[in-house]
Amino acid sequence: MRKALLLVATVLLYALPSLAAGTPYLIHVLVLCCVYAIPAVGLNLMLGYAGLVSLGHMAFAGIGAYAAAVLMVDAKLGFWAALALGVAAAGASGAAIGAVCLRFRSHFFMIVTLAFGLMLYSVMNNWDDVTRGAQGFPGIPRPAPLGSLSFGPLQNFYYLALTAALAAFAVQWRVVRSDYGRTLMALRQDERLAAARGVNAMLYKTSVFALGSAIAGLGGILHVSFLRVAAPATFNLAESINAVLIVVVGGAGSLAGPALGALVFVGLPEYLRVANEWRLVVFGALLVLLVLFAPRGLAGLIPSGKK
């Protein structure tokens, strides 16, 4: 039944541009939901399955975005090659920085990730020669066409963003269902016991930190390619906290959590703009109700089928 529902939902998502013809704003919002859900998938692997609360997660999305932007605009590299190198740069940065951050425990780990996130944001905001500084990095091209398929039209870019998001969720599903994912969950439950059974905790946590950062880099690249500009504000502390909220609201440690959280946290405020003066009040009240009645997030409201 779940596989059938998943198949139907996927078909509906791909058919949505045709069903919602004449409402480009809806497609625009859904693209934003996709590009925010992708970094949330990376953070969900770290927070929901490995128990690592990173407060600088979106900085790695910025590393991937700016690396791809420099390669495309300054080095004149094609989009797809720049995409691969940008994702690799975000993952390598995550491995290097994670090796330092993971030497700390609990709240100290969160503080160190926060510090690294602020440092990386400062680099993006002030390294004018490379990142163009606070004014942003303009002129980022849309993806190069694949055959006869051009990604300039909004509808086609939606298909790309949706496919990338589904690929990220597929990676998450494969990781969680593997021995590697079960080891991560064992580390989250009791790291000392797992280490006593021969698990190299540092290696596993560093690898998931790198994987989560690489996935964030993918989301960051698609985000700036969609907006055609990379701005430091897109990857600041507030955006990192938003990523944590997306995971928590959707349901940390659940496969569907990042998607549900992105739909609520990105899509709902956009449609509450009709009540501009009250939208944050309404949204805040909904979050309070969610915490009270769905402490496991939106995904916790979905029946599991287990008796």
Nearest CA-CA partner of 143 in 78, 88, 68, 87: 78
Average pLDDT value for residue range 271-295: 72
Q: Output DSSP code: residue 144.
A: P
pLDDT of res. 307 = 43
Place of tokens 């946290």: 265
Query: 29-72: per-residue pLDDT in tens?
Result: 999 999 999 999 999 999 999 999 999 999 999 999 999 999 99
Q: Phi and psi of 141, rounded to 5°?
A: -80, 160
pLDDT of res. 85 = 97
End-to-end CA, the chain: 16
Does this model's pTM top 0.85? yes
pLDDT at residue 3 greater than cutoff 90? no
| Selected residue with higher pLDDT from 191 and 281 | 191
pLDDT at residue 160 greater than cutoff 80? yes
Average pLDDT value for residue range 85-105: 94
| Weakest mean pLDDT among 38-42, 91-95, 271-275 | 271-275
